[in-house]
Amino acid sequence: MPFTIAIDGPAASGKGTIARALSQRFGFHHLDTGLLYRAVGAKGGDPLSAARELQPGDLERSDLRSNEAGQAASRVAAIAEVRAALVEFQRSFARTEPGAVLDGRDIGTVICPAAELKLYVIASDEVRASRRAAEIGADAAETLAALRERDARDAARATAPLRPAEDAVTLDTTEMSIDEAVAQAIRLVEQRQTRS
């Protein structure tokens, strides 16, 4: 039986870094679901057609980590039909042996409500903006404004809003180093594995 880890949270909270580390540590497959929406947004044209025609190669674009791609992702992710077109792909991926780690904004609430472990990763707005600005070489103040705009849109959307699952464990990385955050997440996975 595959072990599924659902990791949600706002942009630059550390969820992707934690997801990649858990994937490596436990030999699980990893899917950054935000890349699906970034790729759909970056393709332009009709978002629903782009979602239905998405290919693995579309996730390799070098511009998917930009602020522009993030804003485009947030806009297309608010379209219920686009989300529906991508749900089955994500759910199928989540049940891949020996396990999978998916990170996004609605993994624990919509995509994998029965995941063996759900994490909701957060950090202060300022820390997240500083991390993202350093990652993409952007201005911190502009990045902070863009993150807050995106958070508000993601939390307010009618379909699959950004929020923690009721049974998610909240992991606040504001004061943590990467190593500390990953170590804490590893402990949580190991605790769940011993219960299964």
List residues forming the annotated binding site for ATP: 9-17
Is residue 114 helix, strand or coil?
A: coil
What's the CA gap between 16 and 7, in Å, rounded?
A: 8
Task: List all residues 6 or more positions away from 157 whose beta carbon is below 8 Å from its beta carbon.
Answer: 77, 78
Q: Report which of 20, 5, 12, 34 is spatially closest to residue 114, judged by C-alpha positions.
A: 5
Is residue 24 helix, strand or coil?
A: helix
Binding-site annotation: residue ranges: 9-17
Structure tokens at 178: 């990467």
